[in-house]
Structure 1
Amino acid sequence: MRVLVCPDKFAGTIPAVAAAEAFADGWHAERPADELVLRPLSDGGTGFGEVLAAALPDAKRHTVPTTDPLGRPVEGHVLLDGETAYIECAEACGLHLLAPQERDPKHTTTFGLGPLVLAAIEAGARRVVVGLGGSATNDGGAGLLAALGGAPLDGAGYALPYGGAALSACASLGGVPRLRGATLVAATDVDSPLLGLHGASAVFGPQKGATREDVFLLDAALTRFVQVLETLPGAPTGLAALPGAGAAGGLGAAVLALGGRVESGIGLVLRLTRFDEELDRAGLVVTGEGSFDEQSLRGKVVAGVANAARDLGLPCVVVAGRVDAGRREAAAIGVTEAHSLVEHFGSVATALARPADGLRELGQRLARQWSH
């Protein structure tokens, strides 16, 4: 049997590459003659850079010193493939970089993404693709703009503090951000607008530590800030309502205001990993993620993989940390069956502590099941 193994990360527990390897180890322990093709995937969030580095062996990976959402030193990476650079925003802006008590989108910043973008341009990139996802920020990309030379200013011309809350006083930018002719692309499958009930603050703010009162404050601040963003030369009309503007706490809006565009993260990764070529030769597809739930059914890795498998009439098995999506809804996107580590271990704590062991054991069990 030829099995295509293409999971996303299991957020907070195991990256996509390691998840694919663990599952394959278990399968091969039971069925050593089967051919397993590993294509770990990402929709633009945490793990985006690692997945693309595995898929583009000729690309050069540069380590760049930068800062985290609270301004502390961290290292990020730029993956340079010809004149295209790939950056994972979560390496500088990620929620995983903060302890739970530190998570407060009123004060976290996207400034750390700036040095990564500048390093990519300095290395010769003419197109910079930024994977948006897993961020701890809700500043509309204000920190990024500051790092690129366009710091948000108040009415008196003073630079604003970092974070989303301060943007309620934004009156202008201190300059036009410098990209030296390079084009930005936001790779994301979040289609949220910037503002309102379905916007960055309301939908994703609580996941980043925002209280109900914070959500209203941040949405009002972004309402003010987008008026300033729309004064940039490359900004499209109706910026706040554009799909993807709300990605990564409004970082999508900053990319669009800089004349960039939004592209499907999973679509980009599927193309770069030559997923379709492998799918044509597979007899079974196995994908997965940390939590297979309602959000998974719309634009996530699992949905993209399952839809593609369904179109070719291939069975698609989901292996997840936990499974909360309904069976009928899962079947509608092409999922044949779903298995969870929580159910396998009988404990959430064990599933979180031993994801690699669980994936190996499920791989072995599914090899026995599907061999018939």
Structure 2
Amino acid sequence: MWAATLLGMRVLLCPDKFAGTLPAQEVAHAVAAGWREVADGDELLIRPLADGGPGFVAVLADALGGRRVPVPTVDPLGRATTGEILLTDDGTAYLESAQACGLHLLAAAERDPKATTSYGLGLLVTAAVEHGARTVVVGLGGSGTNDAGAGMFAALGATPLDDTGHALPYGGAALAAVAGLDGTPRLRDATLVAATDVDNPLLGLHGASNVYGPQKGATREDVLLLDAALERFAGVLERDLPGCPAGLGALPGGGAAGGLGAAVLALGGRCESGIGLVTRAIGLDAALDAVDLVITGEGSFDHQSLRGKVVAGVAGAARDRGVPCVVVAGRVSTGRREAASAGVTDTYSLVEHFGGEEHGGIEAAMGRPAEGLRALGARLARQWSR
């Protein structure tokens, strides 16, 4: 609990990333800088947030400390890139699938979930195990893959094979011919945890291919092919992988990150709420109990934001404590009534700050987000500070 000043406000800044522009830490610091220009005597507590997607490791590193280790890996098309693992003193390693499987690593013309692979994630998991981690927490989100972890299995030492005994090509489409696994995943008894707030199963109308495949470049024909291919792969995993749970294709969370949730479950791991894990790590509940105002935000505050995403969780927790909650976003398309019912007191948009869509506001919001957030931080201080 903080010691409050006599008149100053206590403000909690806990935004998510602004996808495609700024990580959560930079969002929070930009708003804070603007606020301090107007009300430097107020107390600002900066607690950036993430679910399992991009920024997961950086946010946890700020909260938990530990050692960040760079790891050579590959992107969804097998090109060299660098990821990292966060190693903490309790024997836990944290990593994020988006550093190797992220959609942001692909140009628009390269997006094809029939061909993209999770092999790079397997290299990150291997590095965590080789560094002695007893628990490996994998943040899932923002992926450009749809191979149910087949590439990851290959990197861990269990290569998917066709019925002639040859290794399959990478990508979800090749799994239509999967007939078995060659080898056993090398995890050295480490436990895997999938950090995700997606509860979709691997297969079916609400599964990875149907719901998320089109976002990654899949056509309707691709979706049908991929769903059938993942069904075949799930059957092979249940048959050949010791400890794989029955009914893998229908388990909640299995559809996260193109089926990487199912891969973790097949390896005897479990799914856990990504935002829940982060909020515990940063002490969000204690911070909410001690403030007069909460500022959160994300790139696009829309109808999806109120269905289990970071902003909805923060706003609901603030509402339960009777604390006003302000959302700062790149753009806002959620109606005031809907936002208010979720606990949001007011919303501020970078696009509107820069003149609206008809006056180039979108381009300015994408090109100068830190400048706009600083200006909005000053505006918030003028409106809210005592």
The two structures have a TM-score, normalised by structure 2, of 0.94
Residue 208 of structure 2 corresponds to which residue in structure 1? 200
1:244 matches 2:253: yes
Q: Superposition pairs for residues 254-269 of structure 1, below 5 Å?
A: 254-269=263-278
Q: Superposition pairs for residues 107-256 of structure 1, below 5 Å?
A: 107-231=115-239, 232-256=241-265
Query: 2:54 is matched with which residue: 46, 49, 64?
Result: 46
1:64 matches 2:78: no
CA apart distance, 1:326 = 2.7
CA apart distance, 1:292 = 1.1
Unaligned residue ranges in structure 2 (runs of 5+): 1-8
Q: How many angstroms apart in 2 are the aligned matches of 1:123 and 1:100?
A: 35
CA apart distance, 1:235 = 1.4
2:194 aligns to what SS in structure 1?
strand
Q: How many angstroms apart in 2 are the aligned matches of 1:238 and 1:335?
A: 39
Q: How many angstroms apart in 2 are the aligned matches of 1:55 and 1:319?
A: 22
1:9 aligns to what SS in structure 2?
coil
Letter of the 1:65 counterpart? P
CA apart distance, 1:70 = 0.5
CA apart distance, 1:260 = 0.2
Per-residue CA deviation, residues 228-275 of structure 1 (Å, 9 max, x unaligned), is: 122221212221111110000000000000000000000000001111
Q: How many angstroms apart in 1 are the aligned matches of 2:309 and 2:70?
A: 28
1:92 matches 2:100: yes
Query: 2:82 is matched with which residue: 70, 75, 78?
Result: 75
Q: How many angstroms apart in 2 are the aligned matches of 1:30 and 1:214?
A: 53
CA RMSD in angstroms, aligned pairs only = 1.0
Residue 324 of structure 2 corresponds to which residue in structure 1? 315
Q: How many angstroms apart in 1 are the aligned matches of 2:340 and 2:181?
A: 49
1:326 matches 2:335: yes
Per-residue CA deviation, residues 301-356 of structure 1 (Å, 9 max, x unaligned), is: 11111111111111111111111223222222211111111111121111111111
Unaligned residue ranges in structure 1 (runs of 5+): none
1:178 aligns to what SS in structure 2?
coil
1:371 matches 2:378: no
Residue 357 of structure 1 corresponds to which residue in structure 2? 371
Residue 274 of structure 1 corresponds to which residue in structure 2? 283
Letter of the 1:75 counterpart? T
Per-residue CA deviation, residues 46-82 of structure 1 (Å, 9 max, x unaligned), is: 111111111122x011111111111011111010012
2:295 aligns to what SS in structure 1?
strand
Q: How many angstroms apart in 2 are the aligned matches of 1:217 and 1:291?
A: 31
Q: Superposition pairs for residues 22-41 of structure 1, below 5 Å?
A: 22-41=30-49
Q: How many angstroms apart in 2 are the aligned matches of 1:113 and 1:20?
A: 29
CA apart distance, 1:176 = 2.1
1:348 matches 2:355: no
1:105 matches 2:105: no
Per-residue CA deviation, residues 125-181 of structure 1 (Å, 9 max, x unaligned), is: 100000000111000010000101111111111110000110011111112212110
The two structures have a TM-score, normalised by structure 1, of 0.98
Residue 293 of structure 1 corresponds to which residue in structure 2? 302
Identity of aligned residues (%): 71
Letter of the 1:300 counterpart? K
Q: Greater CA deviation, 228-237 or 78-87?
A: 228-237
Moved over 3 A (4+): none
Per-residue CA deviation, residues 94-134 of structure 1 (Å, 9 max, x unaligned), is: 11111111111110000001111111111111000000001
Query: 1:3 is matched with which residue: 3, 6, 11?
Result: 11
1:43 aligns to what SS in structure 2?
coil
Q: How many angstroms apart in 2 are the aligned matches of 1:329 and 1:251?
A: 33
Q: How many angstroms apart in 2 are the aligned matches of 1:184 and 1:198?
A: 24
Letter of the 2:87 counterpart? L
Q: How many angstroms apart in 2 are the aligned matches of 1:333 and 1:188?
A: 21
Q: How many angstroms apart in 1 are the aligned matches of 2:123 and 2:230?
A: 23
Q: How many angstroms apart in 1 are the aligned matches of 2:92 and 2:378?
A: 39
Letter of the 2:62 counterpart? A
2:119 aligns to what SS in structure 1?
coil
- Are residues 357 and 214 of structure 1, via their aligned partners in 2, closer, same or farther at CA, if it must alter by over 3 Å? same
Letter of the 2:275 counterpart? I
CA apart distance, 1:359 = 0.7
Letter of the 1:213 counterpart? E
Q: Greater CA deviation, 167-176 or 181-190?
A: 167-176
Residue 346 of structure 2 corresponds to which residue in structure 1? 337
